[in-house]
Amino acid sequence: MKIDRRDFLKSLSAIGVSGIIGSSEKVFASEDLSGYPDRLGMLTDLILCNGCRLCEKACKEAHNLPPHKKPLEDESVFEKIRRPDDKFLTVVNRYTNTDNEEEPVYRKVQCNHCDEPSCVSACLVGALKKTPEGAVIYNEDVCIGCRYCMIACPFYIPAYEFDDPLSPAIKKCDFCYDVRIKKGGIPACAEICPVEAITFGKRSQLIEFATERIRKNPEKYIDHIYGEHEVGGTSWMYISGVPFEQLGFDMNLGIKPSPELTRGFLSAVPLVMIIGPALLAGIRAFTKNREQNSEKSEQKES
**Binding mask of the shown chain, residues 20 to 59, with x at each position contacting other proteins by CB under 8 A:** ----------------------------x-x-x-x--x--
Residue 191 or 250 with smaller CB distance to other proteins: 191
Q: Which amino acid is it at 161?
A: E
Among 125, 195, 266, 274, binds other proteins (CB under 8 A): 195
Stretch near other proteins under the rule CB under 8 A, chosen from 84-92, 143-151, 167-175, 202-210:
202-210
What is the side-by-side strand order in the sheet with 236-239? 198-202, 40-45, 236-239
Q: Which of 24, 209, 250, 263 binds other proteins (CB under 8 A)?
A: 209
Pick between residue 108 and residue 171 the one whose CB is nearest to other proteins: 108
Q: Kindly state whether residue 295 participates in binding other proteins, applying the rule CB under 8 A.
A: no
Q: Which of 19, 104, 201, 254 binds other proteins (CB under 8 A)?
A: 201
Tell me which H or E stretch contains 274: helix 259-301
Residue type, 149: C
What's the rounded Cα separation, in Å, for the pair 161 and 173?
14
Rounded to the nearest 10 degrees, how much is the dihedral formed by the CA atoms of 28, 31, 34, 40? -170
Point out which span in 113-121, 127-135, 188-196, 246-254 binds other proteins (CB under 8 A): 188-196
73 binds other proteins (CB under 8 A): yes
What beta strand segments (E) does 116-227 contain?
128-130, 136-138, 159-160, 170-171, 198-202
Among 99, 164, 178, 196, binds other proteins (CB under 8 A): 196
Min separation Cβ 93 and other proteins, Å: 18
Is residue 199 a contact point for other proteins (CB under 8 A)?
yes
The CB-of-195 to other proteins minimum distance in angstroms stands at 5
Interacting stretch for other proteins, rule CB under 8 A, among 106-114, 190-198, 244-252, 289-297? 190-198
SS (H, E, C) 105-124: EEEEECCCCECCCHHHHHCC
Is 246 one of the binding residues for other proteins (CB under 8 A)? Answer: no
Name which of 82 and 202 has its Cβ closer to other proteins: 202
Q: Determine, following the binding rule CB under 8 A, whether residue 264 of this chain makes contact with other proteins.
A: no
Q: How far is the CB of 49 from other proteins (least distance, A)?
A: 11
**Residue (47 or 152) nearer to other proteins, CB:** 47
Tell me the C-alpha distance between 221 and 97, whole Å: 14
281 binds other proteins (CB under 8 A): no
Residues 6+ apart with CB under 8 A from 143: 125, 127, 169, 170
In the chain, DSSP finds a helix count (H) and a strand count (E) of: 7, 9
Q: Which helix (H) or strand (E) holds 236?
A: strand 236-239
Q: What radius of gyration do the chain's Cα atoms show? A: 27
Number of shown-chain residues binding other proteins (CB under 8 A): 21
Q: What 3-state DSSP class applies to 129?
A: strand
205 counts as binding other proteins under rule CB under 8 A: yes
Pair 249, 155: CB distance under 8 Å: no
Binding site for other proteins (CB under 8 A): 48, 50, 52, 54, 57, 72-73, 186, 190-191, 193-196, 199-202, 205-206, 209
